[in-house]
Amino acid sequence: MSIQEFVAPHSLSEAKSLLADGAMASVLAGGTDLLVGVRLGTRSPERVVDLKKIPELTAISVDAEALHIGAAASAFSILHDSDVPSFFPGFAEALDLIGSTQIQGRCSAGGNLCNASPAADSIPALIANGAQCVITGPAGDHQMPVEDFVLGPSKNALKEGELLVALILPRPSSQTADAYLRLTPRTEMDIAVAGVGVSLTLDGEGTCTAARVSIGAVAPTALLVEAAGAALIGTQLEATAIEAAVAAAREAACPISDKRGTAEYRTHVVGVLVARAIAQAQARIVEASS
């Protein structure tokens, strides 16, 4: 391995200076992408900055407005040691689809996002839930919606010396629920042919008052399909509304053909998953309010 230096700072300010002094540095959260990349020769950092000793990077907290998930918190911690699954069952299911138990013991939601794979499972779920990225760096702190953070395969919006600190998910009301579904050839340890994240809000009469639909693995980045959400708002989620959302998602999809499926197949499947994810999110709201 090319790694010449390993540092585990205890504060954000230390981490920022370690990332900004010109060394070829990579941050380390779970390492499930970084260390594989180093082994395969696609990543060659000289300095590795382990983020897991920085409290803000692993903390998971809930307040009246939002859930804050440290960017380096492991999927296992989010799934088993936090309230996140009760607020965001769809986002939790997306994390639970990543790799094996061993991988989930290490991999983080922040890492899945920064790695910026087109097929990343957690990204459509984050986008559907309106998640924001908290970024710090030499020029100070700022926030950015997740849908703007991923620029292309393996490309994110972090500038030189910047660091993803946390993800903020607006706290859902009792009338809001999410869902994430993906298709893979195998049930486990596989990468999405297509993935769909949906978040819906219904009023007391079952009318949809807010909707976000995000599709993954069918474009260079996960996409927020605003037209699909718009097709649902103001409706009772009747068949014509769902068909319109499905059509909008298929229209937005621009997949490649590869060993996991042809572009035509992926475009078809993403629509099927949109309809099912809408039904699942709706069922969650109905169940919670009955």
Partner 1 sequence: MNKPLNKMAVQATINGEPTAFLCSPGQVLADVLRDELELIGTKIGCNTGDCGACSVLVNDRLVCACLVLAAEVEGQAVQTIEGVAEGGVLHPVQHKLLEHAGLQCGICTPGVVIAAKALIEHNPNPTEEQARYWLAGNLCRCTGYDKIIRAVLDAAQQMREDAAV
Alpha-carbon span 223 to 270, nearest angstrom: 12
Which residue bears the tokens 């989620």? 237
Q: Which residues neighbour 15 within 8 Å (Cβ) at sequence distance 6 or greater?
A: 9, 27, 49, 51, 54, 163
Among 18, 19, 27, 48, binds partner 1 (CB under 8 A): 48
Among 85, 105, 170, 220, binds partner 1 (CB under 8 A): 105
Q: Which residue's CB is nearer to partner 1, number 8 or number 263?
A: 8
Q: Which of residues 79-98 bind partner 1 (CB under 8 A)?
A: 80
Number of residues that bind partner 1 (CB under 8 A): 31
Tokens of 282: 């709706």
Task: Determine if 103 is a binding residue for partner 1 (CB under 8 A).
Answer: yes
- Evaluate whether 8 touches 52 at the Cβ level (below 8 Å): yes
Q: How far is the CB of 82 from partner 1 (least distance, A)?
A: 14
Which helix or strand (DSSP H or E) is residue 241 part of?
helix 239-252
Q: Which stretch binds partner 1 (CB under 8 A): 101-109, 114-122, 140-148, 164-172?
A: 101-109
Q: Which residue's CB is nearer to partner 1, number 30 or number 89?
A: 30
Angle (nearest 5°) at CA 93 between 211 and 166:
75
Alpha-carbon span 157 to 145, nearest angstrom: 11
Q: Which of residues 8-27 bind partner 1 (CB under 8 A)?
A: 8
Residue 273, SS3? helix
Beta strand 208-216 with 223-224: parallel, antiparallel or unpaired? antiparallel
Among 32, 112, 115, 132, binds partner 1 (CB under 8 A): 32
- Evaluate whether 68 touches 61 at the Cβ level (below 8 Å): yes
Q: Which residue's CB is nearer to partner 1, number 4 or number 236?
A: 4
Which residue bears the tokens 């459509």? 124
Among 25, 38, 66, 208, binds partner 1 (CB under 8 A): 38
Q: How far is the CB of 21 from partner 1 (least distance, A)?
A: 17
Q: How far is the CB of 278 from partner 1 (least distance, A)?
A: 26
Q: How far is the CB of 194 from partner 1 (least distance, A)?
A: 21
Which helix or strand (DSSP H or E) is residue 195 part of?
strand 194-202
Catalog residues that contact partner 1 under the rule CB under 8 A.
Answer: 1-6, 8, 28, 30-32, 35-36, 38-40, 48, 50, 52, 74, 76, 80, 99-103, 105-106, 188-189
